[in-house]
Amino acid sequence: MVEVALGTALAAIGAGMAVGFAGLGSGLGQGIAAAGSVGAVAEDEDMFARGIIFTALPETQAIYGFLIAILLMVFTIMANKALPVTTGLVAIGAGAAIGFAGLGSGMGQGITAASSVGAVVENEDMFARGIIFTALSETQAIYGFLIAILLMVFGGILG
């Protein structure tokens, strides 16, 4: 059996949290937006392209989580060195930051996206405003992503 240092194991948990929770939020949000888009397309085939745009928006949270997880893995687990416990804890902090921020942001964005799809199919002029409202929920994921990066930089994982 491969011996894994405690710090490295903690970093692995951090990477898992980053992509796991962010992916959960993103998946739920995208599912909600997709359900709304399918309903809109069933009534108006011209809604397909706009439905895809709204459905794609909650994907970003999963991308942020995925990026942070990759960085954590490259700079900790794949670096082939025994990490100190404190660095492992920093990795968990970074993973939790993007994971939970992505969870909330993804679900929120999905709800707004589904609602915007409904508004656009009711009134075409709502498209731009729908995009703006939907994009607002992105900010929480960006905060989580930034904090995760800063934690990694100043916690000694990056750089």
- We find the least distance from the C-beta atom of residue 30 to another protein, in angstroms, to be 12
Q: What is the 3-state secondary structure (H, E, C) of the chain?
A: CCCCCHHHHHHHHHHHHHHHHHHHHHHHHHHHHHHHHHHHHHHCHHHHHHHHHHHHCCHHHHHHHHHHHHHHHHHCHHHCCCCCHHHHHHHHHHHHHHHHHHHHHHHHHHHHHHHHHHHHHHCHHHHHHHHHHHHHCHHHHHHHHHHHHHHHHHCCCCC
Is 136 a binder of another protein (CB under 8 A)? no
Q: Which of 8, 26, 30, 37 binds another protein (CB under 8 A)?
A: 37
> Binding to another protein (CB under 8 A): which residues in 61-90?
84-86
- We find the least distance from the C-beta atom of residue 43 to another protein, in angstroms, to be 3
Is 15 a binder of another protein (CB under 8 A)? no
Q: Which of 5, 28, 135, 158 binds another protein (CB under 8 A)?
A: 28
Is 104 a binder of another protein (CB under 8 A)? yes
Contacting positions for another protein (CB under 8 A): 6, 10, 13, 21, 24, 28, 31-32, 35-40, 42-44, 47, 84-86, 100, 103-104, 107, 110-111, 114-115, 117-119, 121-123
